[in-house]
Chains A and B, each alone.
Chain A
Amino acid sequence: MSEKDAPAADNKGDEDFEVVEPASKGAAEKIELLHVGVSPHLRAPETTTSIMGWVLLALVPLTIYGIYIGGLHAFAVVVSCIVGAVITEVVLQRLMHVPVTIADLSAVVTGLLLALTLPPRLPFWIAFIGGVVAISLGKQIFGGLGHNIFNPALVGRAVLFISWSSYMTTSYLINPKASVVNTATIKSINAVSSATPLFSIGLVRKGELSINAARYVKPLLFGNPWGCIGEVSAVLILLGLAILLIKRLVDWRIPVCFVGTVMLLSWIKGGNPVFYALAGGLLLGACFMATDYVTNPMTGWGKVIFAVGCGVVTFVLRFYSNMPEGVMFAILLMNGFTPLIDRYIQPRPVGYKARLQEKES
C-alpha cells in the first residue's frame, strides 16, 4: 500500500466505527466505560503545583516584611521579577510549541526567589531582565522544569551581578527606617557604614574598620535593613524553612550541613559563628536555593556532600576573595557537581551485600 492510500484507509476505519456508535444521545450517556491504567491506583495528593504553592506560602511572611522595610522600590523589584519570569516562560514555551506550564507555579517561585536576592532599590527594569534571564538561560534552554543544571534564580542573579555590578552593590536602602530594632543600634551601625554587615566585616578583615560583629546579631534576626529584600529577617527565613520541613518538602540535611559548615569554619578562623550564619544570603540560600529539588543530589549522603561543599566554597569566598559574599557562586558551583555526586553516591539495593558474600564463598 502506498503512503497516499493510508489516509483513505483511516477514514474508512472511522466510518466503520460510527456504525457502532449509539443512535441517541441518551444511550450514549448510559454507556459507562471503565478506566484502565497501571498500578498503583492510589496516589498521594501532592503534585508539583501543590509543592510550589507551599514554597510560595513559606516565602510570603519574608516577602511581606521585606517589602515593608524596603518600601515601594522593593515591591517594584518583586513584581518585575515575577512578571519577567512568567512572561518569559509563556513566550518561550509558545515559541517551542510545547504545553505552557505556568500553572505549576514554578516560574513564580523562580521569580520570587530571584527578587529576594536583589537589593531593594534596584531599578525595576534590571529586575525584569533578571526574571527573563533566570527562566530563559537558567531553565528553558535546558528543556524546562527538571532539566536545568543550575538553580534558575541564581543564574538570573549571577548575570545581573556581572552585568550591572555597580547597581547590584549600591542599591541598598539609604537611611533605612527603624523597625523592630531599636534606633540606637541602627544609628551606631549606620555611622560605620550603610553597606551590608558582611561588607563592613570585609573592611574589618582588611584592617580598615573595627566593629563588633555580635552587635549585628539582633537586627539580623528580627529586622536587617542593610541587605537584599530576602535578607531582612533570619527568623522569618527559618519560619519558612519550618513550614517546608513540617510538610516534608525539603530534606533537613542541606540547610543544616550548609550552615553548619560555614559556622564551623568561620569559628575556626576566629569569626563570630552566629554572625556568619545570619549575615548575607546564607540562610536564604541554604533554606530555599540549595534545597531546590532539580539541582541537588537525590540521595541522603549525596545531599550531605553537596551541602558541605556549598559551605566550604562560601567560607572560602567570604574570607579569601574580594567579594563580601559567596553563597550564590557556592551554590552554582556545587550545582555543577550534582550529576557527578549522583553518579558515585548511589544507594545499595537490598540484598547487594548478601550477593557479594555469596560470590566470595
Chain B
Amino acid sequence: MNKVAADKSIAPGPIPQEVVIPLSQHVGAPCDPTVKVGDRVMVGTRIGDSEAFVSAPIHSSVSGEVTAIAKRPHPSGEDSLAVVIKSDRLDTIDPAVKPQDAPDDLAPDDIRRLVRQGGIVGLGGAVFPTHVKLAPPADKPIDVVIINGAECEPYLTGDYRLMLERGEDILKGARLIQRAVGAERIAVGIEKSNPGAIEAMRKAAEPIGVEVVALPARYPQGAEKTLVKFVTGRQIPQGKLPLEVGAIVDNVGTAAAIYDAVYRGMPLVERTLTVAGDGVTEPANLRVRIGTIVEEVIEHAGGLVGNPGKVILGGPMMGVAQYTTLVPVTKATTGIIVLRKDTIVKEEPGHFVCIRCGRCVKNCPQNLLPFQIGAYADKGMWDWLDKLSVEDCMECGCCAYGCPTRNPLVQLMKVGKEGYIRKRSKMEALEKAREENKTEEDKSDE
C-alpha cells in the first residue's frame, strides 16, 4: 500500500551547504554543546553531549565551521537549541573515527560504551537511547533480540531497502546487541508483504543461526507489544517494557547504525529516510545527513507536484505535520511525506460527535475503547478515565483513521493521557500529604 519507493535503491542525499543540528534529538536529557561559535569541526566530531544516563551525544555531519548556536525550528513544532555548521565541502573525517581492532570480541561493557559514543538511538522513530536498552537490570535476563523490520507505516520503505542492501551489516549489528545483553536467540521480523526482504534476510541469516519471522501485514505490526507477542508468544504486562518478558526490540536501521559505530567507528551522522507522497516528483530512499534542511531534501527528490498541503516528518499515521519546510532532518526522521493540498484530510473544528459505529473499538490493537476515552477527554472527566487504561494507548492512529465522523481521536487520547496523569499525581501528592499529617497527629496524640 502506497509503498511507491520500494524499488528505489538507497541513494545519497543532498550535499548541504549548511546543517542545523538540534541538540535534542532523542528521548531524555538534551545535550549541551561541546563546541563554540567559530570552532572548526569534521565529520563525526562530537558537538553535543550530556552527563545524564538517558541521553545520547550528537555529532557533526559535515566538516566546516560552527556559525551559530541558537534556537531554530525543530520538527516537534517548538524552536530548540541547535548547532549551525557551514560546510567547507571537503567532508574531512575526524581522526577519532577509526574502526575497532577486534570488533567480534568486544566485551558487553565496551559495546555499550561504543554505542553511546556513536550517539545511537532507536531509528524507528522513537529515538530512545540504545545504550540504555542494552543495559537491562540484572534481575531481568534477556533471552531474545528482536530486530524490527516490520515498517508497517504506509509510504515508508527505508528499512525495506536497508534489509535488501545491507542485510549482513544489520545481522552483525544484531550480533553486537545479542552479545551486549547476553541473549540466546535473534529473530528478525518482516511483514509478509515484503517477500523480497524476507528472502534476502533469510539468505544472510540462516547460515549464522538467526531466524527470520514472517509477520502478518497489518498496521501496526511494528509496534513493540504486537511484535513481541507475535514472535515470542509472550504478552507484555500493561504499562511495562519488553524487557519485562525477556525481549529487546531494535529497528533494522538501529542495528545497521550499531554496525557502523563499532565496525567502522562512524557515529550516527546520517540516516536512511523515504521521501514520498503525492506531492513529490520523484519518490526516493535517501541517505541524508542529520541536520539537512527538509526543503533541500524535497528539492533533491525532484521538488513538489502542485501545491503542498501537508509536509509530514515520519509516516502518515504517526508522523508530525510541519508548519514550515525549514526544519532539519533529525535522528527521528524516518520519512518526509508531502501530501498535496487537494488530497489532504482537513481537520475541521467542532464538537465530539460519535455515532457509536464501533470501528475504533474494532481497530484498536490495544483493545481499548477510544470513543469512550475521547468523550471523557473532550469533557475533561479525568476521573472516569481510571478504568479505561488510557496510558496503554500508543497513538498508532487506527481509531481516528476509521472514524466516519472524523473525530480527532488521537489528539483526544493525548489530552486524556495528560489530564489523567496530572490528576493522578495530584491525588497521590494529596494522599501523601494526608498520610504525613496523620503521622504528626498520631505523634501529638502520644
Contacts and interface: CB of A to CB of B under 8 A. Distances in A.
Contact of B402 (A37, A46, A346): A46
A34 B367 contact: no
A352 B400 contact: no
B302 interface: no
Contact of B410 (A40, A48, A146, A354): A40
A42 B154 contact: yes
B355 A294 contact: yes
B240 interface: yes
A349 interface: yes
Contacts of A33: 323
Nearest to A359: B237
Nearest to A51: B404
Interface in A6-56: 32-44, 46-48, 50-51
A19 B290 CA distance: 37
A190 B341 CA distance: 64
Contacts of A50: 404
B355 A39 contact: no
| Size class of the contact patch on chain A | 35 or more
B389 interface: yes
Contact of A42 (B345, B369, B392, B404): B345
A48 B404 contact: yes
Given A48-B404, A145-B355, A293-B357, A41 B344 contact: yes
B311 A40 contact: no
Contacts of B366: 349-350
Q: Which residue of B238, B323, B411 has the most chain A CB atoms within 10 A of its CB atom?
A: B238
Contacts of B358: 251, 293, 298-299
A208 interface: no
A5 interface: no
Contacts of A46: 402, 404
A22 B347 CA distance: 26
B367 A35 contact: no
Contacts of A61: none
Contacts of B154: 42
Nearest to B317: A40
B93 interface: no
Contact of A43 (B325, B341, B345, B411): B345
Interface in B207-246: 225, 229, 234-240, 245
A254 B323 CA distance: 46
Nearest to A46: B404
Interface string A127-159: 000000000000000000110000000000000
Interface string B352-389: 01111110010001111101000000000000000001
A14 B310 CA distance: 27
Contacts of B205: none
B408 interface: yes
A47 B337 CA distance: 24
Interface string A244-265: 0000000100000000000000
Contacts of B8: none
A21 to B, nearest CB: 18
Interface string A179-192: 00000000000000
Nearest to B309: A35
A258 to B, nearest CB: 17
Given A34-B308, A145-B355, A349-B392, A41 B404 contact: no
A3 interface: no
A351 interface: yes
Contacts of B229: 350
Given A34-B323, A38-B411, A294 B356 contact: yes
A40 B369 contact: no
Contacts of B50: none
B277 to A, nearest CB: 9
B316 A42 contact: yes
Given A349-B366, A351-B236, A42 B308 contact: no
Interface string B66-79: 00000000000100
Given A34-B309, A146-B356, A355 B239 contact: yes
B6 interface: no
A321 to B, nearest CB: 30
Contacts of B400: 38-40, 43
Given A48-B355, A146-B354, A349-B389, A37 B346 contact: yes
B108 to A, nearest CB: 27
Given A38-B408, A40-B400, A293-B356, 19 more contacts: A34-B309, A41-B310, A41-B316, A41-B317, A41-B337, A41-B345, A43-B406, A46-B402, A46-B404, A48-B405, A146-B355, A348-B367, A349-B389, A350-B235, A351-B225, A351-B238, A354-B236, A354-B245, A355-B238
29 contacts: A34-B308, A34-B309, A34-B310, A34-B321, A34-B325, A35-B321, A36-B310, A36-B322, A37-B345, A37-B408, A39-B400, A40-B317, A40-B397, A41-B337, A42-B316, A42-B345, A43-B406, A44-B402, A46-B402, A46-B404, A293-B355, A293-B358, A299-B358, A347-B369, A349-B366, A350-B225, A351-B239, A354-B236, A354-B240
Nearest 3 pairs between A and B by C-beta? A40-B397, A354-B237, A355-B237
